[in-house]
Chains A and B, each alone.
Chain A
Amino acid sequence: MFTAFATLLSHYKRHPGQLAMLLLGLWVASALWSGVQAINASARDSYARAEALFTTGLDRLERRDGEPLTRDDYLRLRRAGLPVSPLLEGTLEAPDGTQLTVIGIEPFTLPGDSDFAAAGTAGELTDFLTPPWQTRVAPDTLPALGVSHREAPGTEPRLAEARLPPLILAPMLPPDTLVMDIAATATLLDSGERITRLVAAPDALEQAPEGLVLTRAATLVSPGQLTESFHLNLTAMALLALAVGLFIVQAALGLALEQRLGLLRTLRALGVSGRRLVGLLALELLLLGVIGALAGIVSGVWLARVLQPDVAATLGSLYGADVAVTLNLPWHYWLGGLAVTLGGLLLAGSGVLWRAARLSVLGLGQAQAWRSGFQRQLKLMSAAGGAVALVGLALWLWLAWQPPGEGLLAGFGLVAALLLASALWLPPLIALLLAGLGRLLQRRPLAQWALADLQLQMPRLALAMMALLIALSANLGVSSMVGGFRLTFLDWLDQRLVADFYLRPPAEQHDDIHAWLEAHGEVAELLPTRRSEATLVAVERGGDAHNGEVRELALPVGVYGITPGATLLPSWPLLATEAGREVAWQTFAAGEAAFVNEQLAIAEGLSPGDRITLTAPGGEALLPVAAVYPDYGNTRGEVLLATPELASRFAAPPGSIGIVLAPGGDRAALRAGLRQHFAIGGDELVDQREVKRIATGIFERTFTITRALSALTLAVAALALLASLLAQARERRRQLAPLWALGVPRRKLVTVQLAQLGGSAFVVGALALPLGTLLALGLVAVINVAAFGWRLPLYVFPGEMALTLATAVGVALAAAALPAMKLWRTPPRALLAEEAT
């Protein structure tokens, strides 16, 4: 038994390259997969902790006029019997510069099932409530405070201006968050009687008390929901990488088996039963799998550590989701990683085991026999490809019937089906091409030989080629999508950000500042905005088909007021209007119509000409929809109105003001003026260029990971091709030897080899172009709409396509170069000697 196993393994001693290739495939596949899973698991952990906190899941009350609430407001509402609880929030800077969120709570009135208590430890409540109080903090916040885990409990870390209450560890709290009693927070922040907001259990309040705005918890989307698409995206990329890695493994395993066919027959002949042989091969597989998977998980975690700060920054800026910068992995992550890799390996190795089980003791290993087997395989592949394509078609039809914005998973399924069907059809297609070319080139014996030889190589190259096709198309699709997004987004930023400055004046100074700015000579136009929350309660369809049809709903939406003046009017982008841009803006400016953003239009099937009814605590409005505008990056439905309408119909408080400078206006002078007269600067006044820089920065980071992963996948595919070629290099030389003996010069032999591979890679690359474009279309038209609620125009980038083609050929040539060089250097005598063995 042991001897038989050792004999089986001895193969790798003679062919260490194959062993290396196998392990490499496993390692790469499992590293990418577990890296991405580590990022996902860690982020989910952060979301779970954030959602367990009271900031989500509770209804909020704030003052309508934007002024802060005070303890008196709280007491007044409590005495009126309203179950509200005060929250005081602020930021403190940790010694290392981290911004820490301090949340002050009132534990007696905080709604009980908000899960806050879960963040607590069994500490005495009295200690929480009375000086020196307690700071509840998650262990992963400790490094920012410069405190080690061991010495943490009871320590009172010193910040720039104050000392924190003694620390108590509460692992369920989100990172960089300190929770303490409201009295301790008020002392730390020196906030007097002010509070940030009042909270209440969901739906505990029927309506907002006089003068306050009630925001229902249901409208505050949790970070987990928001970021779902982002993580799904990462998971899809990781699955792709895993699949590509397993292609390598499959190729290597097939080769290792084939070369050991003789050995296996010998073992059978010596009395090792077929079942035992299969068992031994499975054992070998398991051994390799565990080694490869462990190595993969270790490097995956390393990869995740490297990527995590970027991911955290992206999620933070895109969705406002706080994700720990350090990894936080639950135990099941490790087991899961191992299981997925081993499962994949088993899948990849099942073919090998199947063949080994049906091994005929007397059969002869012949390339030609192989080929006829391959013909059968090609037919199977075509059929399977057809089946997968049908699934894809069904998914596409299903998606077409779905309400827009649904079916993110189905969208990924569609894309996956598209890729898989194409990959399955690739070998039959190449075989067809080769056969056709063979007929065309009947008079050119060397070319004929090259084609026939390529056909013989196909069984082994097919898998690597399929992997290459998938990786190339994915790469092209992703870069088209990112490139297209970038063009659209930058344009859109230019159109939306028309003012030179954006000023967020304190509520009590708003009117004075507005008046001062109007009188200021350098200011060409002021663009005041207002924001409010409203509920979309009815949609009345316009147009002939549905005229007058009214649908009732209760959808929370944002209402945003802008100033349709000389600056904004020509540039603000609109996607669709009822009767042209000009009419739309006229009715909008007159307060007779609203615009809706694309997210809302897609989600509710709104189009220009429909009428919507909005209710808000400050009023109700029935408005025709005059236009739909793009609103990238917004996660919610939004209705746009002229600012004065927002003030008069919804009693919305004044918001930020856009300041357009007169030509040649002095930015610095305006800044200085505002600082001098109103002590305003820093956070309240933002330069438009700064906004753009930040927005672009967020955008770049968002796609860093996607691009990095798709590049890595391409690298893996190239590796797969290289590995397949290297694996058969020795055998190839054996087949080239007779040609050389027949008088074909080595230079020509090398050229033929390069042409063979370069040609097939070119075909693969050429196929990847339409496939990649189709993929990009799926991403922008299906997945983006489902994930973000907006559709992107499809852009085609010839440069990217050329690069894809060049990559394909380059990879193939590079992979072929190494064996070719060897061939170049091998003395012909050695070739003949190989043939003789």
Chain B
Amino acid sequence: MRRITTLAVPLAALWLAGCGEESPPTETAGFAGLGQEAGEFAQAHEGIRLRFPEDHAAHPDYRIEWWYLTANLEDERGEPLGLQWTLFRQALSEPRESSPDERPAPWAADQLWMAHMAVSRGETHRVAERFARSHSRQDDGQAGAVAEPFRAWIDHWQLASRVDTSDESGEGDTFAELQLTAQQDDKHGGFGYDLTLVAEGPLVLHGVDGFSQKSADGQGSMYYSQPYWRVEGEVILDGESRAVSGRGWLDREWSSQLLGPEQQGWDWFSLHLESGHKLMAFQLRGGGADGGDYRSGTWISPEGEPTALAPDEIAMTPLATQRAAGREVPTRWRLAIPRAGLDMIVEAPHAERWMETSVAYWEGEVIARDAESGEHRGIGYLEMTGY
């Protein structure tokens, strides 16, 4: 499971921060309000069939949704770089009965969008954030996500298909090749990227055919990934441009009630292993069967065959913490999946990956080594919320 967010709380936090009154996010409905009840919204459940390319687009009937890309890159000299690009959507109001062709009033909004971008290299970590509004019955807004040709955007930050599906055959997969562009000015000279993403494997559905359970009492989300991106292009950091290449992982997830009310945060791993396998594993702190942590994951073969991992098939233990932006964050973990013969130490080489955004969290590159031999096993990303 992946990732943040109900926008209501981050934006309310932004609003309040402007008033000069520091007000901590309300913790009553789980991290970032993700435990709010679904109400009139559609509810994710087992048995929903995912359809592509339609499901690449926004699902305004659900409360929350995201397009979440991370990439482990190297520049020409072999120096590692990390990047993140995320587009979050949140419905402002419950879906209303109205005829689909009724044109919304000018500027009317029923969707909020928030986007995060980050570029990191060594101890440098640059972060930017954007917000926008849109209406679900207009797809020319300041932000949005449409299926074919696929495009997810906010202002000039966008992830868009490079595949021309308008030709006669009409057969091309709009998700086979994407272009990611985003750029932000800052006092360090600006940062951004212009990258081509080529899918070298199939989409992977998590959980039961794409329904990923998030707590023992059945809450969950629709969740699929494209973990096979080969990434190439250019990254700008502090005004300096670099040619880069590497691997990317895109997560797509939507839901109306993601967390149980007692769950306060999570730790989430996405790993590209040397063997060609991919591993997604997370734990939600609280909300397990006996009030303990709830764990889940997917073990993905090099061919893209997923195996859902049950809670008791994953062992996840924090070994050491480091200070990042004034908080104690576990940056060294033991991650064991006995069923896959894995016992690894997963460690973040740099602790300074705190995302100082309206909803703050830790998101950074990790290196996986064998717990006994210390042999290099793979690279990936770790996200930690609620610290």
Contact = CB atoms under 8 A, between A and B. Distances in A.
Interface in A740-758: none
B309 to A, nearest CB: 37
Interface residues of B, number: 31
Contacts of A126: 8, 92-93
A192 B106 contact: yes
Contacts of B11: 108, 125
B37 to A, nearest CB: 15
A78 interface: yes
Contacts of A192: 106
Interface stretch (A114-122, A618-626, A634-642): A114-122
A81 B106 CA distance: 22
Among B12, B18, B183, the one with the most A-chain Cβ atoms within 10 Å of its Cβ is: B18
A81 B19 contact: no
Nearest to A88: B107
26 contacts: A75-B140, A75-B141, A75-B142, A78-B155, A78-B156, A79-B155, A79-B156, A81-B155, A108-B112, A108-B131, A108-B132, A109-B142, A117-B17, A117-B18, A118-B20, A121-B19, A125-B8, A125-B15, A126-B92, A126-B93, A129-B112, A129-B133, A181-B107, A183-B106, A186-B106, A187-B106
A193 interface: yes
A153 interface: no
A756 to B, nearest CB: 67
A556 B39 CA distance: 56
Contacts of B20: 118
Contact of A117 (B8, B15, B23, B133): B15
A112 interface: yes
B315 interface: no
Given A108-B133, A124-B12, A130 B156 contact: no
B129 to A, nearest CB: 11
Interface in B88-133: 92-93, 105-110, 112, 131-133
B23 A193 contact: no
Interface in A671-706: none
Contacts of B132: 78, 108-109
Contacts of A78: 132, 142, 155-156
A122 B132 CA distance: 20
A118 B18 contact: yes
B21 interface: yes
A419 to B, nearest CB: 46
A169 to B, nearest CB: 14
B107 A120 contact: no
Interface residues of A, number: 33
B133 A120 contact: no
A303 to B, nearest CB: 36
Contacts of B141: 75
A108 B107 CA distance: 13
A128 to B, nearest CB: 8
Interface in A178-228: 181-183, 186-187, 191-193
A71 interface: yes
B109 A183 contact: yes
A221 to B, nearest CB: 26
4 interchain residue pairs of minimum CB distance:
A117-B18, A108-B131, A81-B156, A183-B107
Given A108-B132, A122-B19, A129 B156 contact: no
Contacts of A182: 107
A130 B92 CA distance: 7
B107 A71 contact: yes
B21 A129 contact: no
B367 to A, nearest CB: 34
Contacts of A191: 106
Given A117-B18, A118-B18, A122-B19, 9 more contacts: A78-B142, A80-B156, A81-B156, A108-B11, A109-B142, A124-B8, A125-B11, A129-B133, A191-B106
Given A112-B18, A124-B12, A130 B106 contact: no
B23 A122 contact: yes
Interface string B213-245: 000000000000000000000000000000000
A337 to B, nearest CB: 30
B16 interface: yes
Given A80-B156, A122-B21, A122-B23, A129 B109 contact: yes
A195 to B, nearest CB: 9
Contacts of A187: 105-106
A106 interface: yes
Interface string A573-597: 0000000000000000000000000
Contacts of A124: 8, 12
Nearest to B154: A78
A120 B12 CA distance: 11
Nearest to A122: B16
Interface in B1-58: 8, 11-12, 14-21, 23
A107 interface: yes
B18 A116 contact: yes
Contacts of B142: 74-75, 78, 109
B156 A120 contact: no
A106 B155 CA distance: 14
B106 A193 contact: yes
A122 B23 CA distance: 10
Interface in B317-358: none
Contact of A106 (B18, B93, B133): B133
Interface in A69-84: 71, 74-75, 78-81
Given A78-B142, A109-B132, A183-B105, A130 B8 contact: no
B155 to A, nearest CB: 5
Given A109-B131, A125-B11, A81 B183 contact: yes
Contacts of B106: 71, 183, 186-187, 191-193
A183 B132 CA distance: 14
Contacts of A186: 105-107
